[in-house]
Amino acid sequence: MEGSGAHIGVGPTGAGPPRRVLLGAFGDPGHAFPMIALGRALAARGHHVTLQTWRRWQEHVQAEGMHFAPAPEYQVFPSGPRPLDFYEAVVHATRDTLPLVRQLAPDVVVADILTLAPALAAELVGVPRATLIPHVHPHGAPDAPIYSLGARLPRTLAGRALWRQAQRVVDRGLQLGRAELNHTRAQLGLGPLDYVHGGISRELALVATFPQLEYPRTEGGWGAGGWGPNTHVVGPLMWEPPARDVQLPGGGEAGGEAGDGLNGAGSDAPLVLIAPSTAQDAQHTLLRAALRGLAHAPVRVLATYNRRLPARALRVPDNARVVDWVSYSRTMPHCDVVVCHAGHGTLVRALSCGCAVVACPAVGDMNENAARVDWAGAGIRVPRRFATPRVLRLAVERALAEPAIRARARELAGWADGHDSGDVAARLVERLADGRFAVLAYV
């Protein structure tokens, strides 16, 4: 498999008898949406699916054929003299989730990588459990760059040696995290784990990204810097809330034909979508810089502020249209380039539609996503400090001018078209529910 040594599928099989499946994900869109996509696929295969998440998604969960259960919303909040920390919240949430698990008596539980309560409750009851990783896998090989820094895979022996040295600091942090998780487990009556990344199930881990975005690694087990046999890259799991069609710049709507061009950009001019993060960049710095940089470019521009009204009015050039919200699934197929912060959901949607990506990471794993799309040859990374109007225009021009970048994006889109990620993931969950995975304790 290109880009990774992990498995990406299972053999053909029918859905079999209906299973009872409990899914759990906290309500951030980057974690809730992939879980909704998985639940939709499981429900379509005839299973009884309950999704525990925040109440804001209740209507959508039910519309996709699932039962809804409200998740304990133990975010970090004031409680007495000091706020709850993450693991304190996990203890409370697990105890709150345990009655739900006992009531539903599920055949299998699938929990988001950051939503530990359903997984720990399942372990307490003795139910098989899987982890959904809604982005690239965070566990790197010993000579790979530190996750979330956004560094490229080293190409020389010296580069690999440098990262092996740097990993020692990361290893100390992982051991601290293991100790904190084991303390949490002890409070719940569970035994300690002797390995790091204990929030990732070794019964089944579903990595919901393109295999082409995963760095190569061995299959020799976690201790060798590889993955165990129960880790599968299933492809992106994508879902979005319903939204109305928007008028494209120059006329027409997403799903229809474009009309006359604007500012000299005809209806056949490339269409650039500016799709900033829904959670980062409160000042709309990327949106403002991109609109300014592309103002006189021979392109059409569609931009959204994602229902976060800017505090200062935006300057919208003649070749652009700005809307409050965009359906990516219906709009991106019309686009040539997507300029974004490289949130994983936006990134994989763009690649699934064959769009070249200009990735301007804001924080955290966005740096990693930007590095991966650049490494895969399907986009261009622009570090945050360089995201000026001029640099963004140059990046868009390069994405349009270099055939290899657009060809690579179309190649990933072709892979997505021929690969039903939801069905692959659902069949793996069925196998776990039926006890057809061996649990191997890699250390």
What distances in angstroms separate CA 38 from CA 159, 240, 254, 277, 378, one per listed residue?
A: 38, 12, 26, 23, 26
Structure confidence at residue 112 (pLDDT): 97
Structure confidence at residue 253 (pLDDT): 57
Structure confidence at residue 327 (pLDDT): 94
Give CA–CA dist 46/48, Å, rounded: 7
Structure confidence at residue 141 (pLDDT): 81
Structure confidence at residue 225 (pLDDT): 52
Mode of pairing for the β-strands spanning 20-24 and 337-340: unpaired
Give CA–CA dist 296/184, Å, rounded: 56
Tell me the per-residue pLDDT of 225-246, one tens digit each, with 9 for 90 and over: 557 789 999 999 999 999 888 9
Query: Which residue in 216, 210, 140 sits closest to 413, CA to CA?
Result: 210
Structure confidence at residue 5 (pLDDT): 44
Contact in structure between 287 and 360 (CB atoms under 8 Å): no
Structure confidence at residue 10 (pLDDT): 47
Give the alpha-carbon dihedral of 402, 404, 424, 152, to 10 degrees: -80
pTM of structure: 0.89
The phi and psi torsions of 353 (rounded to 5 degrees) equal -95, 5
Low-confidence ranges of the chain (pLDDT < 70): 1-15, 74-84, 218-226, 251-267, 437-443
